[in-house]
Amino acid sequence: MNTPLRHVAMVVVGMFLVLMGGVTWIQYHQAGSLNADGRNSRQLYREFGGPRGPIVVAGDAVARSVEVDDDFGRQREYPEGELYSTVTGFYSIVGKTALENAENGVLTGQSDQLFFTRVRDLLTGRSSEGAAVETTIVPAAQKAALEGLGSQQGAVVAIEPATGKILALVSTPSFDPNLIAQNDTAKATAEYRKLEQAEGNPLRSNATLETYPPGSTFKLVTAAAALENGYTPETKVDSPRTLRLPGTSTDLPNFGGESCGGEQVSLADALRVSCNTAFANVGMDLGVDALREQAEKFGFNSSELTIPMPVVASRFPEELDTPQTALAAIGQGSVTATPMQMAMVAAGIANDGVVMRPYVVDTVRSADLEVVSQTQPSELSTAVSPQTAAELTEMMVGVVRSGTGTAAQISGVDVAGKSGTAETAKGVDPHAWFTAFAPADDPRVAVAVIVERGGDMGSDATGGRVAAPIARAVMQAVLGS
């Protein structure tokens, strides 16, 4: 009977090899997909149970983990309430957004970047803690932006032109992340649903995820294309009161049907008073390809930008006929842009024509204060030549000094700006835009502001009246800090 016993012994070895294979399959090969499975509550428990790193603005934690006495053991807390909600997003049982989502790996400490920290913690027996995410946000600018928008729906983006650091990022209506960060699943879900269905969807960032017709702020792009293609600020352009679009029976008027100051105006004056007919003519003269190329140099038609939250692509369409090109040149028709994109346009002009890659995470620091990673400023693209940038700057200074953007003036500082009042549909109040940078000779901040549907002023709203004061307040906050 010994031969079959030996066979049985071999079979037993075989059975255990199969078991080891099965265990390896699940614990090694399938572990990743099982851990990522939406039905796996462990991921959440593990993340909640572990000390999640804080999100820091100017040395203060604006999102932090606090110990609570419940099943999870910890809860996310946002001491500043709604102020930084566009930056931090929320972290909750119901999900996570914005930085809480984009930087989840380092916040939980699970990121590969923190591999050596984890190994060391393993060896020294210290419990692993998440890393801190230090942002580029300037509190004063953020506050000015949120207060400026107030109850109006819209967004503000402020960028340091030389680096791409995002100094303010606000979307209104805002929300208090503490409401969703409750550990009570039912309550958190109820708050989430409420916000999701609230007017203006507070959970969605208008600054990065919403596109609007850029209106006259797009004239900066058209002007840039003109200057790059042989125009000078002094080049005279036809500027009739109304312009019959070729091949149509549509008359394009100037804003309010006004004159631009003559049948012909210089390009600089056309920008100063935001002359629609002049820019329509410039656009038709340059053609759709030149406009699109210039727009793309500023970042349009690219969906790859992450700050590290994803920014949706701003659009300049592929195919446009002549009348559509005329409308596109003044930022109407099918051109759309995010507030982030328009801030990048201003920042690019401010930075001698070079658009820096915008970013909101400055430093990731492990729990023992070692720098894990630091974002180095990098060029996204060269939009225009330094000369064109200088000419555009001068033209934009004119807009604020004596044009449509006087409300953005800051005493003692040259401000370069451009207003925009974007029609969306008949009977709907226009969006009020303003994009600017300051000081004009040594720019430290570029900003884009949008107030949806005229904000508090309704149909009387213009970019210069509604959005420019907000832009000024944000720039002042940065310059004053």
Partner 1 sequence: MATVQPLPVRAGRGTELVLLVLALAVGIGAYVLVGIGTSGEVPADVVGYSIGLTVLSVGMHVVLRWRAPFADPVMLPLAVALNGVGLAIIYRIDIGYEAAGKEHGFAGRQLVWTGLAIALAAAVIVFLRDHRTLRRFTYTAMVVSLVLLVLPLLPVIGQTINGARIWVRLGPAGLQPAELAKITLAIFFAGYLVTHRDALALAGPKVLGLQLPRLRDLGPILIVWVASLGVLVFERDLGTSLMLFGLFVAMLFIATERFSWVVIGVLLFVGGAALAANLFGHVQARFDVWLHALDPEVYDREVGGSWQLVQGLFGLANGGLFGTGLGQGRPDLVAYAQSDFVVASLGEELGLTGLFALLMCYLLLAQRGLRSAIGVRDGFGKLLAGGLAFVLAWQTFVVVGGVTRIIPLTGLTTPFVAYGGSSLLANWIIVALLLRISDDARRPAPAMQVLTIDDLPDPDEDDAVPADALPARTSSVAAARPARTGSDEDAHGDDHPTERIGGVS
Exposure string for 61-90, b = 16+ CB within 10 A, e = fewer: bbbbbeeeeeeeebbbbbebebbbbbbbbb
Dmax (CA) of the chain? 114
DSSP-derived letter for residue 412 is T
- Kindly indicate which of the ranges 4-12, 256-264, 282-290, 350-358 contains the residues binding partner 1, using the contact rule CB under 8 A: 4-12
22 binds partner 1 (CB under 8 A): yes
CA end-to-end span of the chain, whole Å?
Answer: 91
Q: Which residues contact 27 (CB under 8 A, 6 or more apart)?
A: none
Q: Of 19, 66, 198, 428, which lies in the binding site for partner 1, with binding defined by CB under 8 A? A: 19
12 binds partner 1 (CB under 8 A): yes
- Kindly indicate which of the ranges 32-40, 59-67, 284-292, 465-473 contains the residues binding partner 1, using the contact rule CB under 8 A: 32-40
Least distance from partner 1 to the Cβ atom of residue 127, Å: 9
- Sign of the torsion formed by the C-alpha atoms of 171, 173, 179 and 185: negative
28 binds partner 1 (CB under 8 A): yes
Q: How far apart are CA 264 and CA 255, in angstroms?
A: 16
Q: How far apart are CA 134 and CA 140, in angstroms?
A: 16
Q: What mask of x and - would describe binding to partner 1 in positions 67 to 96, judged by CB under 8 A?
A: ----x-------------------------
Active site residue 216: yes
Among 133, 136, 309, smallest CA distance to 208 is for: 309
In the region spanning residues 41 to 70, those forming contacts with partner 1, defined by CB under 8 A, are: 41-42, 45-46
Name the residue nearer to partner 1 (CB basis): 9 or 198.
9
Q: Of 34, 61, 410, 413, which lies in the binding site for partner 1, with binding defined by CB under 8 A? A: 34
Least distance from partner 1 to the Cβ atom of residue 114, Å: 16
301 binds partner 1 (CB under 8 A): no
Long-range contacts of 279-282 (CB under 8 A, 24+ apart): 279/219, 279/222, 279/223, 279/237, 279/329, 279/330, 280/243, 280/245, 280/252, 280/326, 280/327, 280/329, 280/330, 281/237, 281/238, 281/239, 281/243, 281/326, 282/222, 282/223, 282/226, 282/231, 282/237, 282/329
119 binds partner 1 (CB under 8 A): no
Contact yes or no for 99/361 (Cβ under 8 A): yes
Q: What mask of x and - would describe binding to partner 1 in positions 236 to 275, judged by CB under 8 A?
A: ----------------------------------------
35 binds partner 1 (CB under 8 A): yes
- Kindly indicate which of the ranges 2-10, 79-87, 90-98, 400-408 contains the residues binding partner 1, using the contact rule CB under 8 A: 2-10
Name the residue nearer to partner 1 (CB basis): 110 or 216.
110
Name the residue nearer to partner 1 (CB basis): 37 or 258.
37
Number of residues that bind partner 1 (CB under 8 A): 36
- Kindly indicate which of the ranges 29-37, 168-176, 223-231, 303-311 contains the residues binding partner 1, using the contact rule CB under 8 A: 29-37
**Structure-token pair, residue 368:** 């023992």
- 128, 205, 216, 314: which is the annotated catalytic residue? 216
Q: CA angle, corner 418, sides to 413 and 424, nearest 5? A: 150
Catalytic residues: 216
| Residues at the interface with partner 1 (CB under 8 A) | 1-9, 12-13, 15-16, 18-20, 22-28, 30-32, 34-35, 37, 39-42, 45-46, 71
